[in-house]
């Protein structure tokens, strides 16, 4: 018996397919993430390349193509992330401990640093990523960020857990803007602390690189000559691959 599967869409996919949700009819038996993508690609052949390059999220977790799906799962199709509006109303969403934050308000780097400072650590760093005006000879007017908010917070915490596992004792806190971010303003703040400076530098670099790999945040460049979702042309994106592969 066929069922109606609802799939949430984000960023460029939502624009191309004409809405924030799409429904397909298919039997539950044998449904996998890969099969769902193929059904969508057949339905929307003009956008099949981007659909196949995207990843299904099942209950706010990345699902490999061979992962079985059950009717009633919360499903989303996520285009390749670009490092960067949550689904909730208001100005943003934060974890209970305040270490992970999505907000429409300007970011305060000084507010994130105390989240990672502990007496046994002798080194701390704050990385701040800002909107630059010129990229590849093209002038950016501003950036717009969109996020799958609850999953973004979960993957930010995953990054902090990976940092702590790779550099024992290291701590990490991450804040990211959503919505419009003007030139010169911060889009992301990552605070890291560790017992010594070498691992602190390494952990900070790891955290921003990992954010661009797995956190479901998308960036649109609004330029003088047009606009573009960054990352749509990314090939072989696999957020389920172990870090470093």
For the chain, list the domains and their CATH numbers: 2-78 (3.10.20.30), 92-229 (3.90.1170.40)
Q: Residue 83: what pLDDT? A: 54
Residue 172, pLDDT above cutoff 90: yes
Max intra-chain CA distance, the chain: 62
pLDDT band at 245, cuts 50/70/90?
A: low
Measured distance CA(227)–CA(91) in Å, rounded: 24
Residues 175-194 have a mean pLDDT of 97
* 136 or 146: which leads in pLDDT: 146
Alpha helix stretches (DSSP H) within the chain: 11-17, 33-43, 48-53, 109-112, 149-166, 197-214
* 178 or 81: which leads in pLDDT: 178
Q: For residue 16, which of 240, 232, 244 has the smallest C-alpha distance?
A: 232
* 241 or 184: which leads in pLDDT: 184
Q: Residue 86: what pLDDT? A: 34
Residues 185-208 have a mean pLDDT of 97
Residues 217-242 have a mean pLDDT of 88
For residue range 151-169, list pLDDT tens digits in order. 999 999 999 999 999 999 9
Mean pLDDT of the chain: 92
Residue 12, pLDDT above cutoff 60: yes
Residue 27, pLDDT above cutoff 80: yes
Q: For residue 8, which of 48, 43, 54 has the smallest C-alpha distance?
A: 54
For residue range 79-123, list pLDDT tens digits in order. 998 754 333 433 568 888 889 999 999 999 999 999 999 999 999
């Amino acid at each position: 018996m066929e069922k109606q599967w609802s799939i949430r869409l984000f960023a460029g996919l939502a624009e191309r397919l004409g809405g924030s949700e799409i429904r397909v009819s298919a039997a539950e038996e044998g449904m996998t993430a890969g099969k769902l993508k193929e059904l969508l690609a057949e339905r929307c052949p003009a956008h099949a390349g981007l659909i196949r390059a995207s990843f299904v999220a099942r209950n706010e977790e990345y699902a490999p193509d061979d992962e079985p799906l059950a009717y009633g799962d919360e499903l989303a199709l996520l285009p390749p992330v670009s490092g960067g509006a949550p689904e909730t109303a208001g100005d943003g969403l934060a974890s209970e401990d305040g270490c992970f934050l999505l907000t429409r308000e300007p970011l305060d780097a000084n507010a994130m640093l105390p989240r990672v400072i502990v007496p046994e650590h002798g080194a701390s760093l704050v990385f701040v990523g800002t909107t630059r005006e010129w990229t590849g000879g093209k002038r950016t007017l501003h950036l717009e960020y969109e996020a799958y908010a609850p999953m973004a917070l979960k993957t930010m915490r995953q990054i902090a857990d990976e940092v702590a596992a790779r550099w024992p004792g290291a701590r990490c806190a991450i804040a990211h803007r959503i919505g419009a971010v003007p030139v010169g303003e911060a889009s992301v703040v990552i605070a890291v602390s560790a017992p010594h400076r070498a691992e602190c530098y390494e952990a900070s670099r790891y955290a921003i690189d990992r954010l661009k790999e797995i956190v479901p945040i998308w960036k649109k460049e609004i330029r003088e000559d047009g606009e573009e979702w960054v990352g749509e042309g990314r090939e072989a994106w696999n957020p389920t691959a172990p870090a470093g592969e």
